[in-house]
Amino acid sequence: MCLTDHFWQFLVPGITLGSLYALIAIGYTLVYGVLQLINFAHSEVFMTGGFAGLFITQALVTTGVTPHGAQSVLYTVAGLLGGAFFGAVVAFLLERVAYRPLRRRNAPRLVYLITAIGASLFLFNLAGKLFGRDRTDIPELYHNGVVFTLFGAQVRVQQLVIIGTALAMMVLLDGVVHRTKLGSGIRAVAQDAQTASLMGVNINRVISQTFVIGGLLGGAAGFLFGTYLNVHYQMGFLPGIKAFAAAVLGGIGNIRGAMLGGLLLGIVESLSQSCMSSQWIDVVAFVVLILVLMFRPTGLLGQRLGRAA
């Protein structure tokens, strides 16, 4: 059996990829939770994080020399923080420049959607013009050796860095949303923005903070994705579409659903390679989404952000 023979060899890369999908998907689901908006420009927030991490690590790492020890940790953290920071900046500007004026004018939802697509096209074409249209590898930040084997499958440093970082960020976010005043504000706005406003919640500030949180996660994911593959001005398109699918799969508007959907989508994608050509990966991912939605239209967890606490 193709699946059972190579299960563990494909499971580890699947969890790695799924962790990245989950980080991106959280950005989609957070914004949908508070605005009921599909922010298609979030894929470019992810791309921004990739380029920010690339430029920072290029400035730090000596060409042809692989850092080790404390240097590796320092450079990786610098790239991660840089990616997260610039991702948050772009997400914040998107909210202030593109979406807030629409809210003031009480624009129809269709206008939001068209604006999101327009912002996405503008940002990735701007990146192509400014940074070039060739794929660029992030400098090697550590020796990507085998740390241990799991039922015969090799687990490498890079996979542990990506999975560990993604899990830490998701646990932190879950704590912020469910145990802090900021999280209470986000959940209140997601559940009923008008009532939250009457109770003294600053709606505009909460929405801006929600975009920034999504941008932090998306930008960090962009840097991690760049270390896993490469950086490219269109790097956000396909992962962004799949992360959106993952958010829908888990239950759009539900943070834990986005995490679950991202991990499941990555694992299914990777395991499918054991039985068929890699050219079918994208087809398999979306077939799974369609099948799940046929039997559970609200996704696997099926809750909105405000009702998930």
Decide: 224 and 242 in contact? Cβ < 8 Å. Answer: no
What's the confidence (pLDDT) of residue 275? 77
What's the confidence (pLDDT) of residue 308? 45
Q: Which residues of the chain have pLDDT under 70?
A: 1-3, 303-309
Q: 128-162, pLDDT tens digit by residue? A: 999 988 899 999 998 888 998 888 888 999 999 99
What's the confidence (pLDDT) of residue 220? 94
Neighbours of 177 (CB within 10 A): 24
Judged by phi (left if over 0) then psi (alpha if -120 to 50, else beta), residue 150 lies in beta
What's the confidence (pLDDT) of residue 300? 80
How far, in Å, CA of 223 to CA of 81, rounded?
A: 9
What's the confidence (pLDDT) of residue 2? 65
